[in-house]
Structure 1
Amino acid sequence: MHLLTVPPGGRAKAHKHATHETAIYVISGRAKMYWGERLEHCMETGPGDMIYIPADVPHLPLNDGDEPAVAVIARTDPHEQESVVLLPELEALVPA
């Protein structure tokens, strides 16, 4: 588990976690999570929301608000970053 802070205007690169699931609990702030094979789904999240991302599902979090978004993240991958697969071909599908 780790604590993640996404600053206002911040976003991750489009990626997936090969063979590992992710659970995210939003502590404060607001953010959007895009997910799906073409990042075709979008969920707005806020304090108290729990997000589940199955293994191998492309996703991209984005904070388009004016305050930091803070969340606790837990993965079934003990090494956290070893299962990350970047998906640069999906980057342009999510508005900046």
Structure 2
Amino acid sequence: MNHATQSKKAAHIESALLNKLALMGQKAFAAAMNVPEYQVSRWKNGLFRQVSLMLAVLNYGIADDEMAELAKRLAGYLTKEKAEQCGNTFSA
């Protein structure tokens, strides 16, 4: 696998991981990992990129159906948040 392909795949994996982290919440993730929340912030600015590149080099990726589910959940979350800002109620 060439470097450009690895970098592109790593960016895709990193994006998926950061999206999942955003959906879970940094505080909940930190609690699940048994680390302080500030440590997760540090990881987002370095470790996630390194791990993503490692996964890309090892040919490990995020499944497309998993990405589709993530996109659906994010869209639902954003729709709910927008409705709450407008004073509307939203039930999923």
Does the TM-score normalized on the shorter chain lie above 0.5? no
User: Which of the pair has more CA radius of gyration?
Assistant: 2
- Report which of the two has the higher share of helix: 2
Q: Point out which structure has higher relative CO (alpha carbons under 8 A, 6+ apart).
A: 1
Using the size of structure 1 for normalisation, the TM-score is 0.28
